[in-house]
Structure 1
Amino acid sequence: MTTSIINSQKLSDEPGNSNFRLKDIIKTVPRECFQQNRRKAWTQVLLSVLAVALGYYSLIVTPWFLLPLAWIFTGTALTGFFVIGHDCGHRSFAKRRWVNDLVGHFFMMPLIYPFHSWRIKHNYHHAHTNKLDEDNAWHPIRPEVFENWDTTRQSAFKLFMRKRLWWVGSIGHWAVVHFDWRNFKTKDQSSIKLSVAVVVVFAAISFPLLVATTGIWGFVKFWLVPWMIYHFWMSTFTIVHHTAADVPFATANKWNEALAQLAGTIHCDYPRWVEILCHDINVHVPHHISTAIPSYNLRLAYSSIKENWGPYLHDECQFSWPLMKQITDECQLYTTDVGYKTFNEHYEHYTEQ
């Protein structure tokens, strides 16, 4: 029996799995994985700042026919900015909260990402990973939900999957979820307003200045395209971390936190330069075991988790076009307690009824 089949059965055949607890997994992770290291944290900051600076310098001096390479490098380096903000959002960057908040705002500001909005929504994702109707980072669309959509929305979703448009997914999530403080609890709204104000002020100053000094093309060249490359990685990391034909999403009564984090989170290897610039965010299983593990300790933690909990882990994969094609071709609609179906399989079943 393969690991993937074990995972699927574990999550679907043992409702609640009350004897399998996340804290039991955490206890097996070496204590040093949770220790914050100021030198390593600020070294990551320095690496990202230098990489982004190098990226923008390359955009200035690179001839037009090499601009795509410079854009890819710069956008990937900017993703490192987000990962630093990501650690800050989980309070794993520094011991002092105000340092996490300050650094988090600073590094997410150029991405026009409200820090506290993202932090609160993302922590909710960790609390409900792979739980149907609750996970807010990436969740499959159920057939009954799909059928209740109007024709326009159905067509848009089918186009999104069939035309491999996964890479714009995080842009929609960013735009819809993170700017309206009314979607958050009253106690959080003042923090949300602060974070939204930070990015609005940044955009109000930097965008007109950029256009005034470099023109519309300068805005596209120096901000818009690198920002879209950053969202390519955001969308890709998000969908790959939790999506495969054999990764189940469970209803609340059958959901187990420990199994969801182990079997429902996928380790994917990317080109080494991407992993360096993005601070190993692809080593995602330990991050779901505990958000207290800083990004520079993820590989050490993952080695321990593989040693102690290997049979529960999903098979590792390698980032590639065939992988993304497989995900978008196979993981289109999700039937509760059954799994993913393609649009064609859904319509065949629908017409048979």
Structure 2
Amino acid sequence: MAGRIADSVLLLKGTRQESARSQRIAAHRSPGIYYLKCESPLQRLFKHGKSSLSTSRTIRAVAIPVEPVSVSSADYRKQLAESYGFRQIGEPLPVNVTLKDVIDSLPKKVFEIDDAKAWKSVLISVSSYALGLFMIAKAPWYLLPLAWAWTGTAVTGFFVIGHDCAHKSFSKNKLVEDIVGTLAFLPLIYPFEPWRFKHDRHHAKTNMLKEDTAWHPVWKEEFESSPLLRKAIIFGYGPFRTWMSIAHWLVWHFDLKKFRPNEVKRVKISLACVYAFMVIGWPLIIYKTGILGWIKFWLMPWLGYHFWMSTFTMVHHTAPHIPFKESDDWNAAQAQLNGTVHCDYPQWIEILCHDINVHIPHHISPRIPSYNLRAAHRSLQDNWGKYLNEASWNWRLMKTIMTICHVYDSQENYVAFDRLAPQESQPIAFLKEVMPDYA
């Protein structure tokens, strides 16, 4: 996901952002003739006094051609970072740097599995989830959203535990990892083995245009294929984007045809576990609490989990300056180090989600356990810091992703929906209007 930062200048021009910060970045540097309306000091004096004098003069100015700012310029990257909601946009990684070079720079201890720390993460998730269910049971109706937010975040921690198990970074005992991973995914009705197979390919092909099994940009051919599909895509990648992982979950994990023959047996076992939870667990919840209880205790936290699943995924790998590449133009070190995003969230989210957003070292080596990610990230900052993309969660970051990062373009990385189909992109206009722009 390394990229030509210069491409994003074109993108900023195309999106017609109204803010002064974007206009400054997208300014033309080519020579030309401009007409400027100027005020003299005397006019400004009258303007701020009681006089109604209003005169102006028009001058003809010739712009002097200047060299474009280098993509490696710190000032330029600082402007881009501010515009997008990043703390830092990394310099392009030199092409001679390999992923092995980066892995070899990490201290060996960050790869070590510690059973006590692993089971401590299980204890944190189980206890915080139990607390969340207790809060749902006891909270008055007007506090239920807070209880659902806590419980949905806590159950996301279950996903992270299963995530470590899938990457063989939870325990030295692989049978334990298979059992814990399957059980951790059950409340989410996520089949462990299908997800693991697809997720391994995501790591092997991160931000490879056709091969990455996480999220892609929208393809132009797909966007133009039919009005109905176009409208669905605009809503899905616009206002509903924070729950798009539900569609991904349905499409990718339950179809046996999507798996290799040697994977199918394990996939069937995982699917059987998920179906058993649905057939046994859901009726028990309904029997004890009723349909409304099922909505309160399971569905709403599950939607909270998918909010984080969707949000984390798009923040980790989506930005106007981070390109998806064709396979013959793809570079592993650039994709994993220079094209993955580190994002700081509030501390309670980091604790409940076991530092999943310390994401760059995880893409350098998935074998690093979640409890060692921060130590690994500090090492990357020391050795490769100028190449890292880093942010603290903010509204401007989310607004950039949701209103710009839409349709794939080989030159600009992304083209926004409202550039290609302005008459049908009211949902994007709505987001631009209502989403805060705080960084």
Paired with 1:337 and 1:186, the residues of 2 have a C-alpha distance of 38
- Report the counterpart of residue 335 of structure 2 in structure 1: 260
Q: Tell me the residue number matched to 1:327.
A: 401
Match status 1:100 vs 2:177: yes
Paired AA for residue 253 in structure 2:
H
Rounded to whole Å, the distance in 2 between the matches of 1:128 and 1:313 is 19
Q: Which residue of 2 aligns with 1:226?
A: 301
1:120 aligns with 2:201: no
Match of 2:326 in 1: 251
Q: In 1, Cα distance between the equivalents of 2:363 and 2:221?
A: 29
Indicate yes or no: 2:143 matched with 1:66: yes
Which residues of 2 match residues 142-153 of structure 1 at below 5 A? 142-147=219-224, 149-153=225-229
Q: How does 1:26-41 map to 2 (within 5 A)?
A: 26-41=103-118
**Cα pair distance change 1:8/1:45, threshold 3 Å:** closer
- Residues 170 and 235, structure 1, Cα contact 8 Å, conserved in 2: yes
For the pair shown, the structure with the greater C-alpha radius of gyration is 2
Please say if residues 75 and 226 of structure 1, whose CA atoms lie closer than 8 Å, have aligned partners that are also in contact.
Answer: yes
Question: Partners in 2 of 1:342 and 1:268 — Cα distance?
Answer: 23
> For residues 91 and 409 of structure 2, what CA distance do their matches in structure 1 show?
16
Alignment check: 8 A CA contact 1:7 1:263 kept: no
How far off is 1:288 after superposition?
0.1
Report the TM-score when normalising by structure 2.
Answer: 0.75
Instruction: Go from structure 1 to structure 2 and tell me whether the alpha carbon gap of 1:225 and 1:104 turns closer, same or farther (over 3 Å shift).
Output: same
- 1:160 alignment partner, one of 236, 242, 249: 236
Name 1:136's counterpart in structure 2.
213
From 199, 223, 246, give the equivalent of 2:274. 199
Q: Which runs of 5+ in 2 are unaligned?
A: 1-72, 81-87, 423-439
Which protein is richer in helix relative to its size? Answer: 1
The Cα of 1:343 is off from its aligned counterpart by 1.9
User: For residue 128 of structure 2, what is the amino acid of its counterpart?
Assistant: A
Shift in alpha-carbon separation, 1:177–1:41, aligned structure 2, 3 A: same
8 Å Cα contact 2:206-2:212 kept in structure 1: yes
Give how far 1:28 is off.
0.4
Three-state SS of the structure 2 residue aligned to 1:232 is helix
Partner amino acid, structure 1, of 2:142: F
Q: Secondary structure at the match of 1:133?
A: coil
- Aligned AA (2:323): P
Aligned to 1:174: 249
Aligned to 1:338: 412
The answer to whether structure 1 residue 110 and structure 2 residue 184 are counterparts is: no
Instruction: Go from structure 1 to structure 2 and tell me whether the alpha carbon gap of 1:9 and 1:270 turns closer, same or farther (over 3 Å shift).
Output: closer
Alpha-carbon contact 2:90-2:387 (below 8 Å) kept: no
Does structure 2 retain, via aligned residues, the 8 Å contact 1:125–1:136?
yes
**Structure 1 runs of 4+ with >4 Å offset:** 3-9
Structural mapping, 1:203-222, within 5 Å = 203-222=278-297
1:145, distance to aligned residue in structure 2 (A): 3.4
**2:237 aligned counterpart, secondary structure:** helix
Tell me the alpha carbon deviations over residues 225-279 of structure 1, each in whole angstroms, 9 at most, x when there is no partner. 0000000000000000001111111111111001110111001111110000000
| CA RMSD after TM alignment | 1.8
Give yes or no for contact 2:90–2:388 (8 Å, CA) kept in 1.
no
Q: Give the whole-Å Cα distance in 1 for the aligned partners of 2:108 and 2:187.
A: 34
Contact 2:90 2:386 survives alignment (8 Å):
no
Return the offset for 1:347: 4.7
TM value normalised by structure 1? 0.92
In the alignment, structure 1 segments of 5+ residues that lack a partner are 349-353
